[in-house]
């Protein structure tokens, strides 16, 4: 399988990726924990069916020390006992922010309030930006049919 468009081989596409990457860097430099960031990236990518991003973020999370058990249970986080309450709040906000079209009224107040119990305003800003950015990356990769499976840890560092 080949991607429909090489985002690195086109001047306009490469410029777009440069700005997306800069936004991502602002998020990674925030105080939002790396663990929460990777869990959210994976869950959003699962919901959106983005194998390209799942390949990247599951490998990066494992390399950073995330356990196979926690990685394997992300899709079923509600029933899994291996996540902290803060991680669960972030995963809930990620799901609600990704599935906006599935519910009337957008993200429910209780999901926001729960996340606000565990994250300060700067972390909430980073979390919301991460959810939005991952949705954008997922959509790019799904539309372009970027193939998955060959990612090497640190490849896009």
Domain ranges, ordered by start, for the chain:
11-144
For residue 104, the Cα-to-chain-centroid distance in whole angstroms is: 23
> Closest by alpha carbon to 38, among 67, 7, 13?
67
CA–CA distance, 123 with 50 (Å, rounded to integer): 25
Query: How high is the pLDDT of residue 72?
Result: 97
Query: Counting every residue, how long is the chain?
Result: 157
Predicted confidence at residue 102, as pLDDT, reads: 84
Q: Report the distance separating Cα 59 and Cα 54, nearest Å.
A: 8
Predicted structure pTM score:
0.94
Q: Which of 2.60.40.10, 1.20.1290.10, 3.40.50.10170, 2.60.40.1480 would CATH assign to domain 11-144?
A: 1.20.1290.10
Predicted pLDDT at 2: 86
> How big is the CA angle at 47 (ends 78 and 128), to the nearest 5 degrees?
80
Count of other CB atoms within 10 angstroms of residue 96: 19
pLDDT at 55: 97
Confidence at residue 105, expressed as pLDDT on a 0 to 100 scale: 79
Distances (CA, A) of 142 to 1, 52, 100, 125, 135: 13, 8, 18, 26, 10
Q: What does the block give as tokens for 110? A: 């209780």
Low-confidence ranges of the chain (pLDDT < 50): none
pLDDT at position 50: 97
């Amino acid at each position: 399988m080949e991607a429909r468009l090489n985002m690195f081989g086109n001047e306009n596409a490469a410029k777009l990726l440069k700005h997306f990457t800069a936004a991502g860097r602002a998020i990674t430099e925030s105080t939002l924990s790396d663990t929460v960031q990777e869990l959210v990236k994976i869950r959003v990518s699962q919901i959106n069916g983005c194998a390209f991003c799942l390949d990247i973020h599951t490998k990066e999370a494992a390399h950073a020390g995330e356990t196979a058990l926690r990685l394997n249970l992300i899709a079923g986080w509600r029933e899994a006992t291996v996540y902290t309450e803060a991680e669960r709040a972030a995963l809930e906000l990620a799901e609600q922010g990704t599935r906006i079209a599935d519910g009337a009224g957008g993200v429910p107040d209780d999901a926001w309030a729960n996340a606000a119990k565990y994250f300060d305003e700067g972390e909430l800003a980073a979390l919301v930006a991460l959810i939005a950015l991952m949705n954008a990356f997922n959509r790019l990769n799904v539309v372009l049919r970027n193939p998955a499976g060959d990612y090497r840890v640190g490849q896009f560092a």
